[in-house]
Amino acid sequence: MLDELGRVVLNHGLTATLSSGIRFFRLRLHQKDEKPTTAESLGAPPSDRAVNSRMSPAGISLFYGAMDQRTARAETFRLAPGNMPEYGTIACWTSTRSILVLDLTKHLESPSFYAADESYLYDEAGFLYGFIADITQPIERDGREHIEYVPSQIVTEYFRTGFSLPTGERLDGVLYPSARKKYGKCVALFVGNQQLNPTYGFETAPPIALDSTSIRRTFARPRRHT
């Protein structure tokens, strides 16, 4: 099934290359007295602190960000116990090279239902619309998210480890519509906490780098979503 999904993605051109210099925004929530300023503290969480998320199970470290600051805030801030403000630090990360992503924000051109020679494309487009709707719908943290996230986690793991273009290129992440801000775009990059540390000693430089001049303290009094 997953290999078939990969074929459908290729048929509909749902990959895109983001150029070097693209900006991503990530908001890290923390206690009032914390002051994170490093790539390690503002990037993807360490594996032992990575919680169950939309596209990754607990223990798998991915970089979740957004293409603009408002979307980063909308995706990250949640209703705090007792309606107390949640504190955080927002920062900009810039791509150091081109990044290949599964692009779930692209508009799908659905062929005519009556075109007999293209009916399979109609079915594929319908399946993709349903898949995108499932993977981007808001999921409340009511204790059931470990169940609701499983399908998107399995699919993401396939695109992270088992999918490649005919040229052999592998994906660097997934670009997807925001579940909490209309027209907002989010990204899940397949880079963990250690890979974002420029001094760790990897043979290749991290695909994104922290802009230390962009670091800003922020807070919000959360409001209920209706």
Determine the pLDDT at residue 82: 46
Determine the pLDDT at residue 79: 44
Q: Whose CA is closest to 9, among 165, 169, 162? A: 165
* pLDDT tens-place values along the chain, 226 residues long: 888 889 889 988 899 999 999 999 999 988 888 899 999 899 998 888 888 887 888 888 999 999 999 999 988 875 444 455 578 899 999 999 999 999 999 877 665 555 555 555 667 777 777 777 777 776 666 656 567 778 888 888 999 999 999 999 999 999 999 988 889 999 999 998 877 776 555 556 788 999 999 999 987 654 444 3
Q: What is the pTM of this model?
A: 0.84
Looking at residue 164, the DSSP 8-state letter turns out to be B
**Sheet of strand 208-220, all strands in order from the earlier edge strand to the far edge:** 15-18, 99-103, 173-177, 185-189, 63-66, 23-30, 86-95, 208-220
Determine the pLDDT at residue 114: 53
The vertex-102 CA angle with 144 and 145, nearest 5°, equals: 5
Would you tell me the crossing angle of helices 150-161 and 2-11 to the nearest 10 degrees?
Answer: 70
Which tokens go with 117?
């020679």
